């Protein structure tokens, strides 16, 4: 492992309990679980940025329409990207955050997506 930089972070009690339970059930230390989660969040962040760039270049995003030389992505590819993003976010979000997001979607008059 390369040089490490110790930091202090205040966690909401709900998150602290969740991380402690994960650490206990996986026989890891709490700092190891936190490092793993941070690395995973960083990976997903970079993946989402990459997907956004692909969507922009495909013309699927309004800001990219009309760009010369872009090749539109096949609708099935765009659908796969959307499903992957949703599944990734579901994996990262707590059940409470998922319920809040679903309530916002319903409030907007849209159907709520549920994994099969």
How is 66-82 classified by DSSP, letter by letter? T-TT--PPPHHHHHHHH
Domain that holds residue 60: 13-107
Query: Is 116 within a domain?
Result: no
Query: Is 81 within a domain?
Result: yes
Helix 30-58 / helix 13-25 crossing angle, nearest 10 deg:
110
Query: Is 50 within a domain?
Result: yes
Rg (CA), the chain: 19
Query: Is 6 within a domain?
Result: no
Query: Is 3 within a domain?
Result: no
Query: Is 115 within a domain?
Result: no
Number of domains in the chain: 1
DSSP 27: T
Helices within 30-94 (DSSP H only): 30-58, 75-92
Tokens of 83: 């499903």
pTM exceeds 0.75, yes or no: no
Query: Is 91 within a domain?
Result: yes
pLDDT tens track for 29-77: 999 999 988 888 888 788 777 777 776 666 655 554 444 455 566 667 7
- The percentage of the chain sitting over the pLDDT mark of 90, rounded to a whole number, equals 22
Question: What's the mean pLDDT when you consider all of the chain?
Answer: 78
pLDDT at 23 over 70: yes
Distance CA 47, CA 52 (A): 9
- For residues 17-28, average pLDDT: 93
- The percentage of the chain sitting over the pLDDT mark of 70, rounded to a whole number, equals 78
Query: Is 1 within a domain?
Result: no
């Amino acid at each position: 492992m390369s040089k490490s930089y110790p930091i202090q972070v205040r966690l909401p009690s709900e998150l602290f309990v969740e991380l402690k339970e994960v650490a206990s059930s996986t026989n890891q230390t709490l700092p190891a679980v936190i490092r793993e989660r941070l690395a995973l969040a960083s990976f997903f962040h970079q993946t989402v940025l990459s997907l956004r760039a692909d969507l922009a270049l495909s013309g699927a995003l309004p800001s990219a329409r009309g760009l010369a030389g872009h090749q539109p992505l096949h609708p099935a590819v765009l659908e796969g990207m959307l499903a992957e993003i949703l599944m990734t976010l579901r994996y990262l979000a707590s059940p409470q955050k998922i319920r809040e997001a679903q309530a916002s979607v319903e409030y907007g008059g849209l159907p709520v997506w549920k994994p099969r």
